[in-house]
Amino acid sequence: MFWYSVMYIAFFITNTVALYVLVDMIHLWYIYAQIILTVVLSIISYFSTKRIFA
């Protein structure tokens, strides 16, 4: 359970920083940026969770 919590916090921080970079530095509309991040982080989360609980 500890590693799952660490992963959750890391994804939260990654989402926040990446959203800032995509919106403020690359000038992408915030909804498009969040859609991209949701897809990418969901895929990474799937494989990370699969590895943690395997």
* pLDDT over threshold 80, residue 54: no
Structural domain count of the chain = 1
* pLDDT over threshold 90, residue 41: yes
What is the reported pLDDT for 51?
A: 86
**16: containing domain:** 2-52
Q: What is the pTM of this model?
A: 0.85
Q: Is 33 within 8 Å of 43 (Cβ atoms)?
A: no
Distance CA 48, CA 29 (A): 28
pLDDT digits (tens, 9 = 90+) for 2-37: 988 999 999 999 999 999 999 999 999 999 999 999
